[in-house]
Structure 1
Amino acid sequence: MMRKSVWMALAVSAALFLGGPASFAGEHKISGSFLMGTGSATGNYYAFGSALAQVINRHTGANITVSSTGGSVENVRLLKKADIELALVQTDVNSYALDGVEQFADGAVNNFSAITACYPEMVQIVVSKASGIKSVPDMRGKRICVGAVGSGYEVAARQILGIYGMTYDDIDERFLSQSEAKNALQDDQIDAFFMCSGYPNANVTELSLTGKIDVISIDDGHIWLLLEKYPFYAEYATPDDQYKLGHPVNSVAVMSMLVALKELGEDDVYAITEAIYENLGELRGVNRKAEHMSLENPFRGIPGNIHPGAARFYKEKGIEIPNM
């Protein structure tokens, strides 16, 4: 089923085995080949997508290949053109696409459905200690990177500033990618940057080794306002101190989610969902972010639009499907 497109030039095979040939006894097979959109080749989406592909391929016989892309927004646009069959996207971007707002104000994209929520992506506000920024209001008049133009976390930056009664008029906004923002902060070209990423993030970890950065919290009152206004967010607190800050960070997160084209066969998506959840321990062994996945709540941040193949699997497990 894989379509030939320019994205194939970026594809890297994820059909890796954990040792020895796969056995499909008692498991549902997939004979097709599929392309999965992820994110930057050095980012969390690419690594996690590769882990998903590895486990699914091993247990279904599928040939899922992961592709390095620009992330959630670009993945939705690739799905719209049916250049990819599977993708990782953020729950907020999923909502914008289905509603035809923000990056998709020129038209809703609804030719894809959800398979499962994966792991939380924390909104991280990284600041230079020299900037004196201790809170979001302290950003007034400062050089702030709000993300790449049209990115999911650029919207998050606007939403968080807005909750504090601020706009880009209150800051010196800069539009940079995650890696560009890291370098710019390191070179004192900006005072802070917003990003949305699984915790910990390698770029922030690298910056933290200098001892010259901090990651600031959103206060409880404004977290509550964000959750009330934007239901795709969830409260998130750092579980440890991997950035060596000496304090916890309280913020919000969106969930990463795995989606598939609606035209992808029900049996194939059932097999994909089954392979993930029947082999969750194996997936966690390949990528620890899978520790956030559980059949107790596979729809975090996903109000509906569940693919029929995934829905069949969940119903067999006695799980209620949202808005189905």
Structure 2
Amino acid sequence: MARRGVARVAGAGLVLAIAVAGCGGEGHQTLSIATGNTNGLYYPLGGGLASIWSRHLDGVNMKAETTAGSVTNLIQVAKGESEVGFTQADALAAALAGTGRFPEPMPLMSIGKLYPNVVHLVTVRSTGIESVHDLRGRRVSVGPPGSGNAVTAWNVLESMGIGESDFTVRQLNYAQMSNGLKDGTLDAGFIAGGVGMPAVVEIGVSRDMVLVPFTEDEIATIVRAEPAYSGFIMPPGVYRGVDEPVLTPTLWNLLVVSRSMDESLAYDLTRTMLERRGDLENISGVASFITPVSARDVGDFPIHPGARRYYDEVLGDEVPGDEVPGPGAR
């Protein structure tokens, strides 16, 4: 079945990393951060983090690597093939529980919450698609195998009572999805990412793009099925042609490491990321969400002792507030 294939994590060009058990030792360390494809936000932000850590941590050489996304990242970090990885909250919950794409619980911990992922259900006006239920009988991309994008798309669809047999499933990356919408070989696609996703911007530049809205009741249905989600109002003007607020689901992204990572290394990675977060804002505005208070607020997910030590030092007993995912959050 299209959505249930086990993610492949082996591939050409992966950065060879030293064993996690040796990450706390002295001497030069070559480490890697698993990001995503080049059309999303994980990749440029991961490159920014790799540069920050390499420049400001003595003896650390961090490399950013392209991957299929969250599922692949989680497996690579758990296996010690990458030291750090980006993930969506729903994929991390499944990895820790050993459900869905994960055959057993993964030994993972977070070092911080990052920014909200907004679900973009994208189509073009000529398709006539106006709601998620209009996807029945259409050609729809859920995202590539091994991606958090696919996890999110199926979570949303299944909570709406829409399954694999209801439409023609396509498993395309962002570039392929964009091209499919432009040339008419695809009717709609899911893109989960931060506000201002380059892949969505590109579609709006060349086509009469539609960001499909969800109703209040549909958001409530999704949240009942998947408590990690909430509603988000996309403000007008972010994308060409989206001139009215659009209600859509959202969830948070996090950074994860292996449970066995050296505490001092986890502390240094967390500290340097937060102290140099202004550098990340120069890459993308979504980095403005990354503050010590917000980053520590990982909810029920386990937080690495090294990261916790940093947050305790800078925040003490300060209780995280009820942070919302940006303007228009619900």
Q: Does 1:164 align with 2:168?
A: no
Q: Go from structure 1 to structure 2 and tell me whether the alpha carbon gap of 1:170 and 1:300 turns closer, same or farther (over 3 Å shift).
A: farther
Contact kept, 8 Å, 1:314 with 1:321, in 2: the verdict is no
Contact 1:52 1:276 in 2 (8 A): yes
| CA contact 1:270–1:310 (8 Å) conserved in 2 | yes
In structure 2, the CA distance between the partners of 1:308 and 1:233, relative to structure 1 (3 Å rule), is: same
- Mark the runs of 5 or more structure 2 residues left unpaired by the alignment: 1-8, 17-25, 321-330
> What's 2:257 paired with?
260
**Identity percentage of aligned residues:** 29
Deviation, structure 1 residue 249: 1.9
Candidates 2, 5, 13, aligned match of 1:9: 13
**Are positions 1:212 and 2:216 aligned together?**
no
**Structure 2 CA distance for aligned equivalents of residues 286 and 196 of structure 1:** 18
Tell me which residue corresponds to 1:309. Answer: 306
AA of the residue aligned to 1:127? T
Q: Give the match for residue 170 of structure 2.
A: 174
Distance 1:69 1:55 in 2: 20
SS in 2 for 1:315: helix
Which residue is equivalent to 2:98? 100
Q: Distance in 2 between matches of 1:37 and 1:9?
A: 12
Give secondary structure in 2 for the equivalent of 1:214: strand
CA contact (8 A) 1:8 1:67 kept: no
1:8–1:149 Cα change, 3 Å: closer
Kindly state the Cα deviation for residue 93 of structure 1 after the two structures are TM-superposed: 1.0
Aligned to 1:19: none
Cα distance change of structure 1 residues 194 and 283 upon mapping to structure 2, 3 Å threshold: closer
Residue 109 of structure 1, aligned match among 101, 106, 109:
106
Distance 1:315 1:166 in 2: 44
| 1:89 equivalent in structure 2 | 87
Which SS does the other structure have where 2:293 is aligned?
coil
SS in 2 for 1:84: coil
Gaps of 5+ in 1: 13-28
Partner of 1:17: none
User: 2:48 — aligned with what?
Assistant: 51
Aligned to 1:24: none
Q: Give the 5 Å matches for 1:213-252.
A: 213-244=209-240, 245-252=242-249
2:248 is matched by which residue type in structure 1?
A: S
State the shift of 1:253 in Å. 1.7
Alpha-carbon distance in structure 2 between the residues aligned to 1:171 and 1:306: 39
Map 1:18-29 → 2, pairs under 5 A: none
- SS of the aligned residue for 1:297 comes to helix
Given that residues 232 and 302 in structure 1 are in contact (C-alpha distance below 8 angstroms), is that contact kept between their aligned partners in structure 2?
no
In the alignment, which of 129, 147, 150 is matched to residue 133 of structure 1? 129
CA separation of 1:174/1:9 partners in 2, compared to 1, >3 Å: closer, same or farther?
A: closer
> Take 1:9 and 1:160, find their aligned partners in 2: how far apart are those partners?
33
Shift of 1:304: 2.4
User: Residue 43 of structure 2 aligns to a residue in which SS?
Assistant: helix
Distance 1:141 1:319, change over 3 A: farther
TM-score, normalization: structure 2? Answer: 0.83
What are the within-5 Å matches in structure 2 for residues 53-92 of structure 1? 53-61=50-58, 62-92=60-90
- Residue 69 of structure 1: how far off its partner (Å): 1.5
Superposition TM-score, scaled by structure 1 size: 0.84
Q: Does 1:121 align with 2:109?
A: no
Paired AA for residue 80 in structure 2 = A
State the Cα distance separating 1:155 from its structure 2 match. 2.7
2: CA distance, partners of 1:30 / 1:287: 33
Amino acid corresponding to residue 220 of structure 2 in structure 1: W
Alpha-carbon distance in structure 1 between the residues aligned to 2:67 and 2:86: 10
Identify the residue that residue 147 of structure 1 maps to in structure 2: 143
Tell me if structure 2 keeps the 8 A contact 1:304–1:321: no
Letter in 2 for 1:173: V
What amino acid sits opposite 2:100 in the alignment? E
Measured in 1, the distance between the counterparts of 2:303 and 2:280 equals 22
Report the CA distance shift for 1:286/1:139 in structure 2 as closer, same or farther (over 3 A): closer
Cα 1:56–1:124, aligned 2, differ >3 Å: closer, same or farther? same
Task: Indicate the SS of the match to 1:264.
Answer: coil
Q: Which residue in 2 is equivalent to 1:283?
A: 280
- In 1, Cα distance between the equivalents of 2:283 and 2:186? 36
Could you tell me how far apart the structure 1 residues matched to 2:219 and 2:181 are?
26
Name the structure 1 match of 2:5: none
RMSD over aligned Cα atoms: 2.5
Distance in structure 2 (CA, Å) of the matches to 1:264 and 1:97: 17
